[in-house]
Amino acid sequence: MNKIDNPKPNTWSEILKRPTKTVDDIEVTVKEIFKEVQKKGDEAVAKYTSIFDGVTIENYEVTSEEIQEAVGLISAELKEAIQLAKSNIYKFHAAQKTEKVAVETIEGVNCWQEKRPIQKIGLYIPGGTAPLFSTVLMLAVPAEIAGCKQIVLCSPPDKNGKINPAILYAAQLCGVTKIVKVGGIQAIAGMTFGTQSIPKVYKIFGPGNQFVTVAKQLATQFGVAIDMPAGPSELLIVADDTAVPAFVASDLLSQAEHGTDSQVILVSTSRKLINAIEKEVQIQIEALPRKAIAAKAIENSKLILVENDTIALDLINEYGPEHFIICSEFDDFYSNGVCNAGSVFIGNYTPESAGDYASGTNHTLPTNGYAKNYSGVNLDSFMKSMTFQKISEKGIQNIGKAIEIMAEAEGLQAHKNAVTLRLKSIEQRK
């Protein structure tokens, strides 16, 4: 683990660099697959499913029989856990509903805003060494609350042409309307253009490897929205001597086990605590089944000692972490002062994994510094705000002259005429 003592602000950008990789070669591959899927549809999907997943599938859509089989494979204990998580996620996201906002801006001019669901949603759920059925809950539950009519889920098949049963169980529990056994770039391309088996959608959600991430960004060039640019998982913890070293170490490792390119950072005003946490990490990592992955990520981790909490907060806001854990005597100082973070976890008994699974908040969050300008997924991510206005005769008289003057100043005579004709009509009837 890399220890850094009291780094000067002019070195922060270098110290806080993410372990991102070049995407030049990836972009070439993604563009080629997109072109082929756009032109050949399922034929191209089949080709790349065979190449990348090593399986040939005749029917990509998951059948009701397959779902029922999956339900039977899930233990009662896991079902109960998923149901509890779903209940909390539902409560938190349902609470985000807002009423219509209406105002009369001037007499006779009524303006209001209403929200409408995005009709066609695509969810991408990774299914490799860590099949993220929890992400199904995080995306399908708010989509269902929002009222999205079509919720399409794509997830890569295993060598037997099947999707992990926990993913299927969560999907049928949360209102997913169609499940497709396709992963990777070809899944994103399929949801972008539509194929014989994969419906075209209006917005794509979900995490993935660097190929999926680049594919989602390319999808935006074809009129499809995405939840956010996302990269490898990351966590920053600020802690002082009130923190429990074993707890902090466990949180660092919980993110490190996501992938070798995950990034974990500890910021502290206590050298003693940093040393204690470093020892705990070495003890706990030995028992992890994903030790090799976690160890690689830990090699790139940072243990940063700073002089005081003000410097720590400035450094944290400069980094803009996806996940931010506060284990400090001054938790109000940090929670009130943080400007850039995807999701914040406060106190010794608030592990990041609670947000990943069952507390209720969403775990689909901005990474790679995008917390500075993106929100994590929430109910509004599945909706659009639409504005309405209704103007009476009195209203157009109240604002008409201003519109005419402004339109003429911009050289847009037809804009002016649209008002002038109405004002003259009113005058003629007097």
Cβ-contact 277, 252 below 8 angstroms:
yes
DSSP structure class, residue 161: S
Q: Rounded CA gap, 387 and 334, in Å?
A: 37
Please indicate if the annotation marks 48 as binding a ligand. Answer: no
DSSP element (H, E) containing 342: none
Cβ-contact 29, 329 below 8 angstroms:
no
What are the residues whose beta carbons fall under 8 Å from the beta carbon of 309, sequence distance 6 or more?
269, 328, 330, 333, 334
Return the structure tokens found at 343: 């999701």
Please indicate if the annotation marks 323 as binding a ligand. Answer: yes
DSSP element (H, E) containing 360: none
What are the residues whose beta carbons fall under 8 Å from the beta carbon of 169, sequence distance 6 or more?
67, 70, 71, 74, 79, 82, 133
Cβ-contact 122, 201 below 8 angstroms:
yes
Please indicate if the annotation marks 75 as binding a ligand. Answer: no
Return the structure tokens found at 293: 């992955």
Catalytic residue list: 322-323
Return the structure tokens found at 218: 């390319």
Amino acid type, 151: I
Cβ-contact 269, 327 below 8 angstroms:
no
Cβ-contact 305, 274 below 8 angstroms:
yes
Please indicate if the annotation marks 282 as binding a ligand. Answer: no
- 283 alpha-carbon distance from chain centroid: 32
DSSP element (H, E) containing 152: strand 150-154
Please indicate if the annotation marks 415 as binding a ligand. Answer: yes
Q: Rounded CA gap, 241 and 333, in Å?
A: 16
Please indicate if the annotation marks 393 as binding a ligand. Answer: no
Q: Rounded CA gap, 430 and 419, in Å?
A: 17
- Count H helices and E strands in the chain, helices first: 17, 14
Please, how many CA atoms are within 13 Å of residue 98, restricted to the half-sphere of its CB? Answer: 15
Please, how many CA atoms are within 13 Å of residue 155, restricted to the half-sphere of its CB? Answer: 27
Query: Binding site for NAD(+): residue ranges?
Result: 124, 186, 209
Query: Binding site for substrate: residue ranges?
Result: 233, 255, 258, 323, 356, 410, 415
Query: Binding site: residue ranges?
Result: 124, 186, 209, 233, 255, 258, 323, 356, 410, 415
Query: Binding site for Zn(2+): residue ranges?
Result: 255, 258, 356, 415
